[in-house]
Amino acid sequence: MASLSKVPLPNSNSPTISFSSSLSNNLQWRQSSFAFRAKYRRHNNNSIPTVRITAKIREIFMPALSSTMTEGKIVSWVKSEGDVLSKGESVVVVESDKADMDVETFYDGILAAIVVPEGETAPVGAPIGLLAESEEEIEEARAKAAQAGTKIDNSAPQVISSGAAPKSAPPPSPPPPAPEAEGPTKTVATPYAKKLAKQHKVDINKLTGTGPFGRITPADVEKAAGIESPKKPAAVPDATPRVTTFSQKAATDSGGNFVEIPGSSVVPFTTMQAAVAKNMVESLSVPTFRVGYPVDTDVLDALYEKVKKKGVTMTALLAKAAAMALVQHPVVNSTCKDGRSFTYNSNINIAVAVAINGGLITPVLQDADKLDLYLLSQKWKELVEKARAKQLQPHEYNSGTFTLSNLGMFGVDRFDAILPPGQGAIMAVGASKPTVVADADGFFSVKNRMLVNVTADHRIIYGADLAAFLQTFSKIIQNPESLTM
């Protein structure tokens, strides 16, 4: 079977993905049982077993780089056909739903054939290349790759060119005539036809009906009586002719009412945009509710002016405050995944929404409640750099238990956020702006205030839970000395 392994390499700070699977000479491309003989030799207690495999051609397949990945896009092939590969070398860069990752080979050999070229996608587990042990197997590997491509082409649906008229299907044969009934038959007429026949003294039994199934209609009676039916006035044509465009017809056929604007261009989703769209649609199945809360930020703003010289960002301050509030309200940090139970997460991992070129991603500040503010800020900067370079590892973006989305830096005063799948709540933070506030004694003053809206899963979090959490969050923001401890 195909194997996917993590191989630690010297002088490497990040985990690497290695892959390969073997193909025997007499087996077909897709349905092959990857049998091989292995011989282990252990030189000492610390050595890695040496595996000797008799297979000649190995299959390079699309690895699963995250738990949500169903297909991957080939960003670039680091190696070309005919290049000699060594175990641990990067072969291809794959774009998953969240990041680009270098994929390494687990075996020595020659890259004999590239099955999926750059810019194309393939489902997880599908072959994207072939690895040969020696030059003698290169031609055989390329033949297998060509055969696989032919099978894919043959399985594609046939499309009739718009230039040639499709052959019309033969007209259906007319139904056989109904057998004539023997003996007298009953005359069938509409009630109004019978009334007319009685008025004009027409023998209805001698008429031949022109209606469905020989039914006698009022027109048949009037014709027999010599009465001309009044002609209907001709329909007045509409002054504005109705024109059905191809785009309107396509919209009607697809069930939508969308009309394509002339000159528009259609851009397909990137892998990341497709993943975001899928998650947003999935979120619609969760019953959610929203609670807003005003938070005074004068003291927090003063603290930020002091600590930003040391590299602390406002995002780090907000993430730290949210984590400290979640410690006191663990239900807001919980998760409902199956609709029948919920989980109190043992870690407080704050995911923060970041807009990058071509999509949206949520790097995760793991154990945000346990890290001090300065270490948290440093960690956040590293995550943002990796996110914009599309180099985040799966655990760095899919392990969040609570999400923070901050649009305050753009001047947005309030907004609602969509709940990410697998989480209990998401906080939307607006800008801090001078606001006229009245105290309990009726005196007015101007304070900096921001509006916070939280969207929560109503199956596990109730209004009182969210209100209590927001009160705690507000107290921490208004007394932020604990954030620097």
Catalytic residues: 458
Alpha carbons 434 and 448: distance in angstroms, whole number: 4
Q: What are phi and psi of 448, to 5 degrees?
A: -75, 130
Tell which residue, 416, 358, 422, has the closest CA to residue 387.
358
| Residue 168 one-letter amino acid | S
Three-state secondary-structure class, residue 9: coil
Tell which residue, 299, 297, 319, has the closest CA to residue 432.
297
Paired with 365 in beta bridges are 350
For the chain, helix, strand, coil in percent to 5 are 30, 20, 50
Determine how many CB atoms are found less than 10 A away from the CB of residue 190: 16
Three-state secondary-structure class, residue 164: coil
Q: What are phi and psi of 396, to 5 degrees?
A: -90, -5
Alpha carbons 331 and 465: distance in angstroms, whole number: 8
Measured CA to CA in angstroms, residue 161 lies from 164, 166, 246, 247, 251 at distances of 6, 8, 16, 18, 21
Contact yes or no for 345/334 (Cβ under 8 A): yes
Q: Which residues of 205-217 are buried (b: 16+ CB within 10 A; e: fewer)?
A: eebebeeeeeebb
Instruction: Report the largest interatomic distance among the alpha carbons of the chain, rounded to a whole angstrom.
Output: 119
Q: How many CA atoms lie within 13 A of 276 on its CB side?
A: 17
Paired with 452 in beta bridges are 293, 429
- Residue labelled with tokens 């030189």: 43
Check residue 7 and report its DSSP letter: -
Paired with 456 in beta bridges are 289, 425
Contact yes or no for 441/418 (Cβ under 8 A): no
Alpha carbons 402 and 400: distance in angstroms, whole number: 6
Contact yes or no for 316/369 (Cβ under 8 A): no
Measured CA to CA in angstroms, residue 426 lies from 150, 178, 277, 324, 366 at distances of 49, 71, 17, 15, 16
Task: Enter the tokens of residue 377.
Answer: 């800020």
Contact yes or no for 310/447 (Cβ under 8 A): no
